Amino acid sequence: MPHQHKRQKNGTVLATNADQPAAGPSKPSPRLFAPFRALGHVTDHVPYAMFVHTPQGALATPTVNITTSVGRSWLMWDAARMTLVFAGPDAGAQINALTMTGTEIFASAGTRVIKYHRGKETGSYLSPDESNLGKMLIFGDELLILKEDGTGMFIYDLPTRQLKNQLTFHSSFTATHLMHPSTYLNKVLIGSQQGELQLWNVRTCSLIHTFAHPTPASSSPITAIVQSPAIDVIGVGYLDGRVRVLDIRQGDLVMQMKIEDGAVAALTFRMDGPPILATASSTGSLVTWDLSKGGRVLHVVRGAHDQSVTGLQWVAGQPLLISSSADNSVKQWLCDSPTGMPRLLKFRGGHHAPPTCIRYYGEDGKQILTAGRDRSLRYTSVVRDSRSFELSQGSLIKKAIGLGVTVDHLKYPQITAISSSSIRSKDWEDVVTAHADDAIARTWRVQEKRLGPWTFEMENGVAQAVSVTACGNFSLVGSSTGEIRMYNMQSGKERRSFSLSGPAPGTSKPSIIAQSKTAKAKAAQLKATEGMKKSLEAITGLVSDALNRVVVASTLEGKLYFFDFHTTQLTHAVQLSTSITSMSLNRDSGLISLTCDDLVVRLLDIETRRIVRELRGFKGRILDTVFSPDSRWLIATSLDSTIRTFDIPTGRLVDAFKTTSIATSLTFSPTGDFLATAHVDSVGIHLWANKAQFSDIALRHIPEEEDVPEVDLPSVQGLEEDAAIEGVEPIGAPEFTNIYTTPEQLTEGLLTLSLMPRSRWQTLLNLETIKQRNKPKEPPKAPEAAPFFLPTVSGLETRFDFSATQDKNEDEGKNGQRLELSSGWLESEFTKRLSKEDEDGDYNSFFEYLKSLPPSTLDMEIRSLISLDHLASFLNALIGRLQSHKDFEAVQAIMSVFLSVHGDILISNEELKSKLEELRQEQKRESSRLRELVGYALGTLGFLRGT
């Protein structure tokens, strides 16, 4: 679900329309991760407006779409199913107000009002004095906009977007809200911070009347103004909780009410007949009033929202009340009778406090488990917003109403650790969580969207670390006093326990046996437990390998304990020089990430039990780390608001970018496409696209002193199918132009092999054998050609005479045309290239051509060297290539074929003897160098293996 960076101001936006989604501009991208979009945000603290589209036809029903502001952008929802229709683009500043027509949305953000059509920006209205703009109202063909500071109002022509006029209020009048009274031509009513109301004529820009506050000595700011179904009657809400119904024609007070739990955040009149007024408070309560009985309270829905209700409106012609709140939720309330209590019909919501722990769930990378300061556990879908939900903790709403408290008071403590395994998700519980200052670890079942029946309670201390095994059958729980217990996820029973010191406890006894202990034994055990409580260490991390062979526990004292999974024996211990605050394991590679207090992330190999990497460069406390699925990267976030990516094989920092707010938790998709982050002042989950999935990325080492770029967080705007992520290049195009290219030879002292496939030079060496093996057993026989007129031989039997044909074939065999090399020699490309090379050079171009020839062609070309000049040139080529230390194995194969074919000619000619001697010496020298290099490498490898 899309979400936006920061949350400011007060209020939320409700609106209706039926437009379709459209893409907006992308954010600038960092080196490796590009901002993609954000999930989990429904509303933000922004004022609202609402429009109901009524289609033509007697049987047609109104179509209600809800548009909510999420800070710098807005979202549109289908009220019938509460599904996301589309997201608007980034407005560039915090949205202060929204208003709508049938097809267009107007958003007040910063110094301009932006006009959107079908989600795309089509125009803007700029502030002439560059002041921030606030509330606005569409008034015929005019757009009225209040300044955010309440000192004036601008009047724009709606079609041409030109400024028509401007109002400046008195210094004692600070405007907060504006409204058009029904049937009042060219007139608007403006409320103030001082509690006064002023009626203005926008055509003549003149003040008509001022409605003073009923009690000027104790005036209260106006927080809401709405039109009632009756002409000349309006409702006004105040900060002190009072609601006044005024007749503005007579200037009389019709009735007055007061809510008891905070300020009036919003109010609305029911428009389908019954004289009902609904009000919302700053504490999240809803109150309905019966105006036919003098404003008597009908119903009070306490805790309707967890935070202030910032948007409230009845749907015209329906008993449907829509409310939105700063708790990141939109709710629909239905009244079954004119005086019935509003009941919750549908709602959409997210975290109303920033998430503190997020982890991908499953192996497909489509869902994330998120836990926040609102003490809830949510399942957030990356693919489709409608699949997101909160895991139920029971019927808390009914209990909260009965006790008169909010739902948050009844929820379990804040979740501090999450572990899951979806292998057995269809059979039993698959998620385990640890909670702040709670000795109980709880199980959850995602498939059933609820809390599981099992609780894992520690005898001493607080449950701090949890881990579900790779098979999904067991859960490990560690406490702040050093207890480590293993539970069965299917039955919820304890199976084993691990001891940091002393003998292994082994398999735990069933509870029925444990209950049969005598009081003396229980007292002794309690005394021993109290003594152990003082000496044991706090568990900060628990992991188990992919095959359930090893259990690793980390402690705050900087120790790592390795246990046998089945016998619970302590097999090894490692002491670090600093405290370990958290630990995570990549089961595929066996690497453990240790987050330490000295601002260093250490990587430990679970097989060798040694530290293999130390990743440094952090300038603040490390908050969270995560491995990439292929274990090549480690991504870490710290208090310096920087997200760093380390290349594990080299131990180098390859990417770093700073965000506008601190990332408190992060998780990497199992498919490697997205990095998800949670931030300290955001209720949403931000997705960053892994650019290495879409293009060739040339990673480079980033020095610590290099400035880290600051990157905006992903906005709510998704991308269309044909839209590209900004910063992602086409496939095959590198990101950096100065890409390092491996030289042909690193140094002159090294011996370089060729890139010729091994099968090619092996075929060249064994070409004769291959030909003999593939040679047919007998040559094919041509059929005898019969003459056109078949002569016969005289005799009793009819026989044909073939003697003439046989004589002709014998003559052709004797006098056949045989190509004599001496008579018609044509120089080939092979010999041409050989002759062009410099005798003292390295024959580079000639050998490149030679390596491109098929083995059979190369063999034929070598055999075609019949002149002494060509043989001498070829010997020079072999000598020059050996001296250049290149293509060693290719030279050996070619030289072997060359000597075997032309050996007799080379020996019988004295002019080639010097070249042969030189080739033998160069071959001996290079072979000796190769033996020395290989021997050194083998010796070094054997030494390392021996240690």
Give the model's pLDDT for residue 742: 65
**Residue entry with tokens 């379990």:** 412
529: left (phi over 0), alpha (psi -120 to 50) or beta: alpha
The alpha-helical segments, DSSP class H, found in 76-171 are none
693 vs 715: CA distance, rounded Å: 21
Give the model's pLDDT for residue 348: 87
698 vs 531: CA distance, rounded Å: 57
Mean pLDDT confidence for 296-325 = 88
Query: What is the 3-class SS of 6-49, one letter each residue?
Result: CCCCCCCCCCCCCCCCCCCCCCCCCCCEEEEEEECCCCCCCCCC
Token output for 843: 């024959």
* Other Cβ atoms within 10 Å of 129 Cβ, number: 9
Q: Considering just the CA atoms, what is the radius of gyration of the chain in Å?
A: 42
Q: How confident is the model at residue 843 (pLDDT cuts 50, 70, 90)?
A: confident
Mean pLDDT confidence for 884-901 = 83
Q: Residue 36 pLDDT more than 90?
A: no
Range with the poorest average pLDDT among 138-142, 249-253, 510-514, 647-651 = 510-514
116 against 515, higher pLDDT: 116
489 vs 452: CA distance, rounded Å: 10
The structure's pTM equals 0.70
Mean pLDDT confidence for 461-488 = 94
CA angle 698, 704, 705 (to 5 degrees): 110
Mean pLDDT confidence for 831-846 = 80
Q: Whose CA is closest to 872, among 830, 832, 914? A: 914
The SS3 of residue 291 is helix
Mean pLDDT confidence for 754-760 = 71
374 vs 410: CA distance, rounded Å: 11
Q: How confident is the model at residue 699 (pLDDT cuts 50, 70, 90)?
A: confident
Q: Residue 4 pLDDT more than 60?
A: no
Asked whether the beta carbons of 260 and 241 are under 8 A apart, the reply is yes
b/e map 832-869, b = 16+ CB within 10 Å: ebbeebeeeebbeebbeebbebebeebbebbebbeeee
Question: Tens of pLDDT along 73-93?
Answer: 888 888 888 888 778 888 888
The alpha-helical segments, DSSP class H, found in 353-505 are 396-403
340 vs 235: CA distance, rounded Å: 22
Q: Residue 337 pLDDT more than 60?
A: yes
603 vs 618: CA distance, rounded Å: 15
Give the model's pLDDT for residue 6: 34
29 vs 733: CA distance, rounded Å: 17
270 vs 580: CA distance, rounded Å: 60
Run of H or E including 659: strand 652-659
Q: Residue 676 pLDDT more than 90?
A: yes
Give the model's pLDDT for residue 708: 87
Q: Whose CA is closest to 494, among 522, 545, 456, 466? A: 456
Note the residue count of the chain: 947
Range with the poorest average pLDDT among 248-262, 640-654, 886-900 = 886-900
DSSP 691: G
Q: Which of 436-450, 737-751, 917-931 has the highest mean pLDDT?
A: 436-450
Give the model's pLDDT for residue 799: 66
Q: How confident is the model at residue 728 (pLDDT cuts 50, 70, 90)?
A: very low
899 vs 611: CA distance, rounded Å: 55
742 vs 888: CA distance, rounded Å: 19
Q: Whose CA is closest to 584, among 619, 631, 640, 649? A: 631
Mean pLDDT of the chain: 82
Q: Whose CA is closest to 563, among 539, 528, 533, 586? A: 539
Give the model's pLDDT for residue 790: 61
Q: Residue 512 pLDDT more than 50?
A: no
487 vs 477: CA distance, rounded Å: 8
The SS3 of residue 768 is helix
Token output for 670: 């199992």
Give the model's pLDDT for residue 802: 61
Q: Could you tell me what percent of the chain has a pLDDT over 70? A: 82
Run of H or E including 813: helix 803-814
Mean pLDDT confidence for 186-192 = 93
Question: Tens of pLDDT along 349-408?
Answer: 889 899 999 999 999 989 999 999 989 999 999 988 888 899 998 888 778 777 777 777
Q: Which of 328-342, 525-539, 770-784, 811-825 has the highest mean pLDDT?
A: 328-342
* Other Cβ atoms within 10 Å of 821 Cβ, number: 9
749 vs 936: CA distance, rounded Å: 15
Dihedral sign for Cα atoms in the order 933, 934, 935, 941: positive
Mean pLDDT confidence for 649-675 = 93
155 vs 164: CA distance, rounded Å: 6
Residue 171 carries which side chain, given as an amino acid letter?
Answer: S
Q: Whose CA is closest to 460, among 530, 523, 548? A: 530
573 against 898, higher pLDDT: 573
330 vs 65: CA distance, rounded Å: 12
Asked whether the beta carbons of 95 and 74 are under 8 A apart, the reply is yes
Question: Tens of pLDDT along 95-113?
Answer: 888 888 877 889 999 999 9
Q: Residue 193 pLDDT more than 50?
A: yes
Run of H or E including 849: helix 844-852
Asked whether the beta carbons of 245 and 230 are under 8 A apart, the reply is no
Q: Residue 202 pLDDT more than 80?
A: yes
Q: Whose CA is closest to 880, among 921, 910, 844? A: 844
Mean pLDDT confidence for 312-330 = 89
Give the model's pLDDT for residue 847: 81
Q: What are phi and psi of 133, to 5 degrees?
A: -105, 150
Q: How confident is the model at residue 261 (pLDDT cuts 50, 70, 90)?
A: confident
Q: How confident is the model at residue 719 (pLDDT cuts 50, 70, 90)?
A: very low
Token output for 348: 């959409």
> DSSP string spanning 210-234?
EE--SSGGG---EEEEEE-SSTTEE
Give the model's pLDDT for residue 938: 85
Give the model's pLDDT for residue 730: 43
Output the furthest CA–CA distance in the chain (Å, rounded): 152
40 against 232, higher pLDDT: 232
Range with the poorest average pLDDT among 200-214, 565-579, 841-855 = 841-855
